[in-house]
Amino acid sequence: MTRDVLEAARAWLGQDPDAETREELSALIAVASTGDAGATAELHDRFDTRLEFGTAGLRGRIEAGSNRMNRVLVAQAAAGLAAFLVSREEHPSVVIGYDGRKNSRVFAMDTAELMAGAGVRAILLPRLLPTPVLAFAVRHFGVSAGVMVTASHNPPRDNGYKVYLGGEDNGSQIVPPSDAAIAEQILRVAAERNVLDLPRSTDFEVAGEEVLDEYVRRTAALVSAPAVRPLFVYTALHGVGYETAHRVFVRAGFGAPVIVTEQIEPDAEFPTVAFPNPEEPGALDLAFELASRVGAELVIANDPDADRLAVAIPDAAGGWERLSGNEVGALLGWRAAERITASGPEGVLVTSIVSSPALAAVAREYRLEYVDTLTGFKWVSRVPGISYGYEEALGYLVDPDKVRDKDGISAALDFLALFAELKSSGTSFAQHRRDFADRFGAFASAQVSIRVSDLAEIPRIMTRLRANPPERLGATAVRQIDDFADGFEQFPPGDILRLWLEDGSRVIVRPSGTEPKVKVYIDASSVAGSADERIALAASRIAALEAAVRPLVS
Torsion of CA 275, 333, 382, 504, to 10 degrees: 80
Q: Homologous superfamily of 441-553 in CATH? A: Alpha-D-phosphohexomutase, C-terminal domain (3.30.310.50)
pLDDT per residue, tens digit, the chain (554 aa), is 577 999 999 999 999 999 999 999 999 999 999 999 999 999 999 999 999 887 678 999 999 999 999 999 999 999 999 999 999 999 999 999 999 999 999 999 999 999 999 999 999 999 999 999 999 999 999 999 999 999 999 999 999 999 999 999 999 999 999 999 999 999 999 999 999 999 999 999 999 999 999 999 999 999 999 999 999 999 999 999 999 999 999 999 999 999 999 999 999 999 999 889 999 999 999 999 999 999 999 999 999 999 999 999 999 899 999 999 999 999 999 999 999 999 877 899 999 999 999 999 999 999 999 999 998 899 999 999 999 999 999 999 999 999 999 999 999 999 999 999 999 999 999 999 999 999 999 999 999 988 888 888 899 999 999 999 999 999 999 999 999 998 888 898 989 999 999 999 999 999 987 678 899 999 999 999 999 999 999 999 999 999 999 888 87
Buried b (16+ CB within 10 A) or exposed e, 509-539: bbbbbebebbbbbbbbbbeeeebeebbebbe
Query: Which residues form the catalytic set?
Result: 152
What pTM value is reported for the model?
0.94
CA 450/CA 518 separation, integer angstroms: 5
Chain centre to alpha carbon of residue 49: 25
Same fold, 209-440 and 441-553: no
- Looking at residue 365, its pLDDT comes to 97
Rounded to 5, what percent of the chain is helix, strand, coil? 40, 20, 35
- Looking at residue 404, its pLDDT comes to 96
CA 187/CA 46 separation, integer angstroms: 16
**How many CA atoms does the CB half-sphere of 134 hold within 13 Å?**
33
β-strand partners of 123:
95, 205
- Looking at residue 1, its pLDDT comes to 54
β-strand partners of 500:
480, 506
- Helices vs strands, H then E, count in the chain: 17, 22
CATH tag for 68-207 (out of 3.40.50.970, 3.40.50.300, 3.60.15.10, 3.40.120.10): 3.40.120.10
91's enclosing H/E stretch is: none
- Looking at residue 552, its pLDDT comes to 83
Fold of 209-440: Alpha-D-Glucose-1,6-Bisphosphate; Chain A, domain 3 (3.40.120)
Q: What are the extents of the domains in the chain?
A: 1-48, 68-207, 209-440, 441-553
CA 8/CA 48 separation, integer angstroms: 9
